[in-house]
Chain A
Amino acid sequence: MPSVDIAVVGAGPAGASAAIAAAQAGARVALIDEGIRLGGQFFRQPARPFNSQASDALRNHFRRGRQLLEQLDHPKIEVFTGATVWNLDPKRRLQLYGSHGRLEVRAHCIILATGATERSAAFPGWTLPGVMTAGAAQSLLKGHGLVPGGRVIVAGSGPLLLAVARQLLDHGAHVTDVVEATPLRRWVKHGVHMRRAASQLWEGVEHLQRLKRAGVGLHHGMAATRALGSLQVSGVEIDRVDERWRPEPGSTRQLAADVLCVSYGLIPSTELSRLAGCGHRFDTSLGAWVVGTDTNLETSQHGIYAAGETRGVGGAEAALAEGRLAGLLAAASLGLWGAGHASAVAEARAEQARLRAQTEAVLGLFCVQPGLADLATDETPVCRCEGVTAGAIRLAAREGARQLNSLKAWNRCGMGPCQGRTCGPIAAQIIASETGAHLEAAGCFTARPPIRPVPLSALAETATPHPTGTAMEDHAGYGRVVTGRR
């Protein structure tokens, strides 16, 4: 059982830079990621290096990621890839399972840099093969050099839509339409805040120009409301939506498509911090829970730090600075600091704050809206794993299931292999819409070990068969810790 000074979970921008900063300060570090390769989603490394056919932007991005990841080749860093953390207790013991079997890691400090997943909407046909998140299409391109063979529509809301459409287009994909739910008039209203984010704004304008030149249809204030097809996608229906993303009847248009990429922003991954009993807060603009920390990035659990998107979506640049800051502060808490520590901390802190403010200015434009829940008809599956429909969730909500956790008792929503990661945020919106209560009141699914499916043999061999933190009997008290309510 390895014992280290600092264990970092997640090897994206935040986790990688945290591990590097901590190791350079003298800490022995374990860096753990469940991906095949390091880098997370943003710095996802390709199966083989890019050649000259890849766009300059993609090759520069790859080089930047590689420069970061090369610094992980450090005598004080041990890297575990393909390793899923399925349990974390408040005593900072991590249970890993992966291609190399089962392992327990103990650490004096833990830095959670678990990133985010993508928010989708549930609409008729969204489970069809060919409908995927925009990030999935991007991962196939960045990680494997694959582009869709047929016509592509990118739909949802947020800065990722234009970036992904542009990237696919640059590498030969036939992108026909981009469908952005946030209406143009909101851009006008929000314009003043965008001054803080001039570089992102310029990047977006450049993507737009490239897409327009290529004849891509750009639809603002519209949403994909249905994916058509029986075995896979053959078309998409789009509808005009109002400012709250509620579809307007009678505005349907039909478009042909073979792949539909969907993205309505990001949702911080908080399973591990919830499992460890860290306090969380509801971020209204994200419409999601984020792990709470003090100004030194330490969560409410002693010795457990958090950095990057799990604290609230701030973008990869902020995550790099924040990871560095977390690494420096965690190392300092163990008495490890060298010359220049104070100035390095001050610099990382200032950079992290400035970059987070920039991203917040952009994301304020694309705040998740309640109308997203209305895209699901009663027949639409919301919980993809268990096949629980929006109608079943609405019925349960009317019968008294006002929280995600009680929903499980009604219809098994969120109890399949993905454990509610995909359906939870959508089901919460449907409950809120049905009961008229605030989204926050729906809470979030309780995280229990194992937070990812592992073979029974992995559990049977575990030295601590009764993990603390989220035992069934602690459920009520645990819920209070998570939501901060009594």
Chain B
Amino acid sequence: MPAFLRANILAAGQRFEILVNGEPVAAYEGESLAAALLAAGWMCLAAQPDPDCPRSLFCGMGACYGCLVTLDGRPNVRSCATLAQPGQRVELADHAIG
């Protein structure tokens, strides 16, 4: 069972792909990176403060810095506060395996 499901309550939007740890993942127009990752079955998004401390979206509003990912080589990006866009490359912490 995926962590989160798209409940089909939004108007259809453009589908595109982002690369997560090198794997293609579907995202839809207007979604945050965190939303696309959770809907794709990733529950662990980060590890904090140590590699053996799996973390995920916690506050969902950019306050807790729990959902930090590496985006296009830039570390510590809040995935809940960043728009998903075609062609983005996201690297998750080692621990964050789907």
Q: Which residues of A contact B (CB under 8 A)?
A: 34-36, 41, 46-51, 53-54, 58, 82, 117-118, 120, 127-133, 135-141, 143-150, 171-172, 231-232, 258-259, 269, 381, 384-387, 416-418, 421-422, 453
Assembly CA distance A148 to B39 (angstroms): 9
* Cross-interface CB contact of B43 among A50, A82, A133, A232, cutoff 8 Å: A232
* Cross-interface CB contact of B56 among A130, A141, A385, A422, cutoff 8 Å: A130
| Interchain Cβ contacts under 8 Å between A and B, 13 examples | A36-B82, A47-B30, A51-B8, A127-B55, A129-B54, A136-B60, A138-B60, A147-B5, A231-B54, A232-B43, A258-B1, A385-B65, A418-B64
Give the 8 A-B residue pairs with the shortest CB-CB distance, closest first.
A47-B30, A136-B60, A129-B56, A144-B35, A54-B9, A417-B65, A139-B60, A145-B10
Is A149's CB under 8 angstroms from B35's CB? no
Contact bitstring B13-56, A, C-beta under 8 A = 1, else 0: 10000000000000011111001001100011100111001111
Is B30's CB under 8 angstroms from A140's CB? no
Q: Nearest chain B CB to A315's CB is how many angstroms away?
A: 17
Is A144's CB under 8 angstroms from B59's CB? no
Q: A47-B28, A129-B43 are in contact. Are A422 and B5 (CB under 8 A)?
A: no
Is B63's CB under 8 angstroms from A387's CB? no
Contact bitstring B55-85, A, C-beta under 8 A = 1, else 0: 1111111111110100000001000111100
Please indicate the chain B residues that have their CB under 8 angstroms from the CB of A140 in the complex: 4, 35, 38, 57, 60
Is B39's CB under 8 angstroms from A146's CB? yes
Q: Which residues of B contact A (CB under 8 A)?
A: 1-13, 28-32, 35, 38-39, 43-45, 48-50, 53-66, 68, 76, 80-83, 95
- In the complex, what residue of chain A is closest to B5 when comparing beta carbons? A149
Chain B residues touching A, majority SS: loop
Please indicate the chain B residues that have their CB under 8 angstroms from the CB of A416 in the complex: 48-49, 65
Please indicate the chain B residues that have their CB under 8 angstroms from the CB of A231 in the complex: 43-44, 54, 95
Is A148's CB under 8 angstroms from B9's CB? no
Please indicate the chain B residues that have their CB under 8 angstroms from the CB of A51 in the complex: 8-11
Max chain A C-beta neighbours (<10 A), residue from B6, B7, B39: B7
Please indicate the chain A residues that have their CB under 8 angstroms from the CB of B59 in the complex: 117-118, 132-133, 135-136, 422
Q: Nearest chain A CB to B78's CB is how many angstroms away?
A: 9
Assembly CA distance A305 to B11 (angstroms): 39
Is A258's CB under 8 angstroms from B3's CB? yes
Please indicate the chain A residues that have their CB under 8 angstroms from the CB of B5 in the complex: 146-149, 172
Q: A129-B45, A149-B2, A149-B3 are in contact. Are A422 and B10 (CB under 8 A)?
A: no
Assembly CA distance A133 to B62 (angstroms): 12
Q: Nearest chain A CB to B46's CB is how many angstroms away?
A: 9
Is B9's CB under 8 angstroms from A36's CB? no
Q: Nearest chain B CB to A164's CB is how many angstroms away?
A: 12
Q: Nearest chain A CB to B25's CB is how many angstroms away?
A: 14
* Cross-interface CB contact of A131 among B12, B13, B39, B58, cutoff 8 Å: B58
Is A148's CB under 8 angstroms from B65's CB? no
Q: Nearest chain B CB to A11's CB is how many angstroms away?
A: 13
Is B7's CB under 8 angstroms from A171's CB? yes
Q: Contacts A232-B54, A387-B50, A418-B64 known; list 18 others, CB within 8 Å.
A: A36-B32, A36-B82, A36-B83, A47-B13, A49-B10, A117-B59, A132-B58, A136-B57, A144-B31, A146-B6, A150-B1, A231-B43, A381-B53, A384-B66, A386-B49, A387-B49, A422-B63, A453-B76
Is A132's CB under 8 angstroms from B13's CB? no
* Cross-interface CB contact of A129 among B9, B32, B55, B83, cutoff 8 Å: B55
Assembly CA distance A172 to B5 (angstroms): 10
Assembly CA distance A131 to B64 (angstroms): 13
Is B49's CB under 8 angstroms from A135's CB? no
Q: Nearest chain A CB to B57's CB is how many angstroms away?
A: 6
Please indicate the chain B residues that have their CB under 8 angstroms from the CB of A385 in the complex: 48-49, 65
Assembly CA distance A231 to B43 (angstroms): 9
Q: Nearest chain B CB to A301's CB is how many angstroms away?
A: 24
Is B1's CB under 8 angstroms from A133's CB? no
Assembly CA distance A232 to B1 (angstroms): 13
Assembly CA distance A201 to B13 (angstroms): 38
* Cross-interface CB contact of A132 among B29, B60, B62, B83, cutoff 8 Å: B60
Q: A129-B56, A232-B43, A258-B1 are in contact. Are A136 and B61 (CB under 8 A)?
A: yes
Assembly CA distance A421 to B78 (angstroms): 15
Please indicate the chain A residues that have their CB under 8 angstroms from the CB of B81 in the complex: 34-36, 82
- In the complex, what residue of chain A is closest to B82 when comparing beta carbons? A36
Q: Nearest chain A CB to B36's CB is how many angstroms away?
A: 9
Assembly CA distance A53 to B9 (angstroms): 5
Assembly CA distance A54 to B7 (angstroms): 9
